[in-house]
Amino acid sequence: MKDLNKLSEKLTVHYAAAFFTYFSAFCMIRSFISVYLSDRGFSYTQVGIITAIHMLITAVIQPLYAQILDRFPKLGLRRFIALCCIPSAICSILTFLLPARLIFFIPLYIIFGLTEIGLQSLMVSVGMEYVNAGVPINAGLGRGFGSMGYAVSNMILGALIVRFGAPVSQKLNILLLAVMILLILFLPDPWKTGGIPQEKTDRDELPSDSVSVFLQKNRVFALFTFSVIFLFFGHSVVNTYMPNVAAQFGKGSDFTGMIVGISAALELLPMMFYTLINRKISSLQLLSISAIFFTVKLLTAALAPNAGWLVVSQFMQILAYALYAMSSIYFTNRAVSPHNRVMAQGLLIGAGEVGFMIESLVGGIILDHMSVRVLLWVGVAISAIGSVMMLSALSQFRKNHITGE
């Protein structure tokens, strides 16, 4: 037991470092996509086209990774992740070499979506493999450091772009992907770490169902997934357009950076202590709380009379996205058959990407023709629909006793 605890601590640190590095690389491509593409000479319309296609591809690929892994079972989850990093690094190099035309950059950002950006669900699944193998790894700490990596990289990259120019993001992406490959490849096989013997676990060698078959068999989970699209539409309103929201009160990028940092720090706390929290409160109950606070957080921002209330709304992140991020992972891990876990995790992340993509398109139109207040209230309305849908899905899960909690 003592050796297993030492192994758990070592793996938790290793996994947290891999997640921190992954989301730092993620930031290089996703957060400053408009800044980099505009710097290369693309118009706002062209940036919107590339971004929308990129997000759509990222959403679609998430649940399909399971089928790819089924076709190459000897490849394994960690080697597959490392392999996906290579084409993304090549694409970063090609962004310097190819002319700034849609015919070249749309395929590049499709590949970014298919490989690097799309790896979110697989990184989550790596941690859950250890949990399912009986190794008491703190997967929440790993996921929390991912959020911290994203926030820290946002702040650092913003300063570096001011000093060295937008192309620095692509150069750093190459470096971070190289580190990522090393970190993920040196993670040991979960089933050979001295946890539960493989034959005594519920590890399932059956191939995953197709997405359509899975959703037909799991209609309640389908409703749950659909609710995520609505919630993440509202969630991304503030995330994407916080500079516009803050500008209403005369605040600039320094204020925006501060509240982004607050948000990231708050995410880390419940993720770090999620295992302890989950012993007292089930994932089902935690998801119910988060479903409500997604909308309460956005409503607070919409009603904010001054910038101080925007800070208050960000503090609600601890009960909104921060709770959802870990609760949805553990809930899905228990609610779904073992052979469908990777795909189900991918569906949820893909649903979030769809919500983000739709909001980006709709948000731009609203800001062009109306105001940021209108956008906030549209977000509140759509988020409220998502909250009701998620609570309904969770209620049905509870009645059906699917989770085993």
The reported pLDDT for the residue numbered 403 is: 43
Domain with CATH 1.20.1250.20 in the chain: 1-203, 207-405
Quote the CATH superfamily of domain 207-405.
MFS general substrate transporter like domains (1.20.1250.20)
User: Which pTM value belongs to this model?
Assistant: 0.75
CB atoms near residue 41 (< 10 Å): 10
The reported pLDDT for the residue numbered 198 is: 47
- Concatenating the DSSP letter of every residue in 322-355 gives HHHHHHHHHHHHHHS-GGGHHHHHHHHHHHHHHH
d(CA 169, CA 64): 28
Q: What is the pLDDT of residues 342-359, one digit of tens each?
A: 778 888 888 888 888 888
The reported pLDDT for the residue numbered 404 is: 43
The reported pLDDT for the residue numbered 3 is: 62
Q: Which segments of the chain have a pLDDT < 70?
A: 1-5, 44, 191-208, 240, 252-254, 256-257, 260-261, 264-265, 401-405
d(CA 313, CA 242): 12
- Residue that is written with structure tokens 């040991």 in the block: 188
The reported pLDDT for the residue numbered 304 is: 86
Q: Which residues lie closer than 8 Å to 392 by C-beta, 6 or more apart?
A: 223, 227
The reported pLDDT for the residue numbered 200 is: 45
The reported pLDDT for the residue numbered 217 is: 81
| Strand ranges inside 151-209, DSSP E | none
The reported pLDDT for the residue numbered 401 is: 64
- Residue that is written with structure tokens 């078959």 in the block: 213
Q: What dotted CATH number matches 1-203?
A: 1.20.1250.20
